[in-house]
A and B are shown apart, each in its own frame.
Chain A
Amino acid sequence: AQSVTQPDIHITVSEGASLELRCNYSYGATPYLFWYVQSPGQGLQLLLKYFSGDTLVQGIKGFEAEFKRSQSSFNLRKPSVHWSDAAEYFCAVAGGSYIPTFGRGTSLIVHP
Chain B
Amino acid sequence: NAGVTQTPKFQVLKTGQSMTLQCAQDMNHNSMYWYRQDPGMGLRLIYYSASEGTTDKGEVPNGYNVSRLNKREFSLRLESAAPSQTSVYFCASSEQAGAGEQYFGPGTRLTVT
Taking Cβ atoms with an 8 Å cutoff, the residues of A that contact B are 9, 32, 34, 36, 41-46, 49, 51, 90, 94, 97-105
Count of chain B residues near A, Cβ 8 A: 23
A42 close to B106 (CB less than 8 A): yes
17-68 of chain B: CB within 8 A of chain A: 33, 35, 40-45, 48, 58
Asked if A100 and B98 make an inter-chain contact with CB atoms under 8 angstroms apart, the answer reads yes
Separation of A9 and B44 alpha carbons in the complex (Å) = 17
- How many CB-defined contacts (below 8 Å) exist between A and B? 53
Verify A99–B48 contact, CB threshold 8 A: yes
Establish whether residues B42 and A43, one from each chain, have CB atoms under 8 Å apart when the complex forms. Answer: no
Q: Which residues of A contact B42 (CB under 8 A)?
A: 90, 102-105
CB-CB contacts below 8 Å: B62-113 with A: 90, 92, 96-99, 101-102, 104-107
Q: Which residues of B are found within 8 Å of A105, using beta-carbon distances?
A: 42
CA distance A6 to B58 in the complex (A): 21
Cross-chain contact A43 with B107 (CB below 8 angstroms): yes
One of A9, A99, A104 near B58 (C-beta < 8 A)? A99
Interface centre among A45, A99, A102 (most CB of B within 10 A): A99
A104's nearest neighbour on chain B, judged by CB, is B42
Nearest neighbor of B44 in chain A, beta-carbon distance: A102
Contact across chains for A43 and B90 when beta carbons are under 8 A apart: yes
- List 24 A-B pairs, Cβ < 8 Å: A32-B98, A32-B99, A34-B101, A41-B106, A41-B107, A42-B106, A43-B4, A43-B106, A43-B107, A44-B92, A45-B104, A46-B101, A49-B101, A94-B99, A98-B96, A98-B97, A99-B33, A99-B48, A99-B97, A100-B102, A102-B42, A102-B43, A104-B42, A105-B42
